[in-house]
Amino acid sequence: MSHPPQPGLERFRHIAIEGPIGAGKSSLARRLAAHMGAELMLERADENPYLERFYADVPGYAFQTQVFFLFQRMRQVRELAQPGMFSQGNEGPLPSSLDPSGAGSARRDLGLPGCVVSDFMLAKDALFARMNLSDEEYHLYGQMYAQVAQQLPQPDLVIWLQATPATLVQRIRQRGIGMEQRIAPAYLQKLCDAYADYFQGFDGAPLMVVNSEHFNPVERAQDFHALVDALAAFEGRRTVFDLSPEQPG
C-alpha cells in the first residue's frame, strides 16, 4: 500500500540499495517502494544461467557470469530513460541524472511520482568484475563496460547496507537458497572488503551507510520508519544510519 509523500522524500527519483549478498537489499527495496508508492526494480539473478556454476567454480565461470549480469542490468537501468516509463503528469521533467537524453519525460503518477527504488546499481558490476576476473578478463570486460555504461541514468541516492561476513553467512543459511550455500566465508569477507574500498571514495551520489547488524525493516516496523525519517532529513553527501545498541562507556 502506498502512502502520502513524506516531506523530504520527494527529492529522490531513483534510490539504489546496495550491499553484499545477504545484506537485505531486496527486502528493504520492496518495503521502501511499497511505502513510497514507487516503481520497484529488482535484479534478476535467477535468470543468469552461469550463476550456480560460478558459486561452485569462481575462476571458471566468473567472466560469463559477469558479462551476463552487465548486459542484463544495463537493459534494466536503460528502461529508466525510455519514453513512456513515466506517465504524463504535471510534476515536471526528470532531472538530468535520470534523463540523460534531455527528453524530459514526466514522472509516473504514483505515491511519489516517478520515483524508482532498485536493489542494485550498475556500478556494482565493475566492483565484482575487479574482484573475480583475471587481469586479461578484466581488461576485456572494462572495454564492454565503458561502452554500455555511457549515458545511462544514475541513482540520486545510494543506500549501502553493511554487515559482517558472519552475519551474511547466517542470513544466507536462513533463506536456504541451494546454490548460495556453496559461498565460502572467505569469499564473503573479500566481498565486504571490496564494498568498503569502493564506497570509501564514492562520490557518484549522496550515500547513506546503514549498519544492518541490528536493522530489521521487515519484522520491526520501528526500524523501517526510523530509516524513512533519516532519509527524509538527509542533507549533504554522506551520512550513517546505525541502530546498534550504545556500548557503555
Per-residue pLDDT of the chain (249 residues; tens, 9 = 90+): 445 556 678 888 899 999 999 999 999 999 999 999 999 999 999 999 999 999 999 999 999 999 999 999 988 888 776 544 433 332 333 333 333 333 333 333 334 557 899 999 988 888 999 999 999 999 999 999 988 887 777 899 999 999 999 999 999 998 877 788 888 899 999 999 999 999 998 988 999 999 999 999 989 999 999 999 999 999 999 999 999 887 555
**What are the counts of helices (DSSP H) followed by strands (DSSP E) for the chain?**
8, 6
CATH of 14-242, one of 3.40.50.300, 3.90.1150.10, 3.40.33.10, 3.20.20.140: 3.40.50.300
Q: How far apart are CA 114 and CA 80, in angstroms?
A: 10
Which pLDDT score, from 0 to 100, does residue 97 have? 33
pLDDT of 113: 53
Q: pTM for this structure?
A: 0.82
- The pLDDT score that the predictor gives to residue 22 is 92
Tally of CB atoms within 10 A around 94: 24
* pLDDT at residue 149 in the model: 81
Closest CA to 215 of 207, 206, 224: 224
Long-range contacts of 90-94 (CB under 8 A, 24+ apart): 94/13
**Helix/strand/coil for 42:** coil
d(CA 32, CA 9): 11
Residue 4 pLDDT:
54
User: Which of 67, 76, 80, 85 is CA-nearest to residue 44?
Assistant: 76
Question: Domain residues of the chain, as ranges?
Answer: 14-242
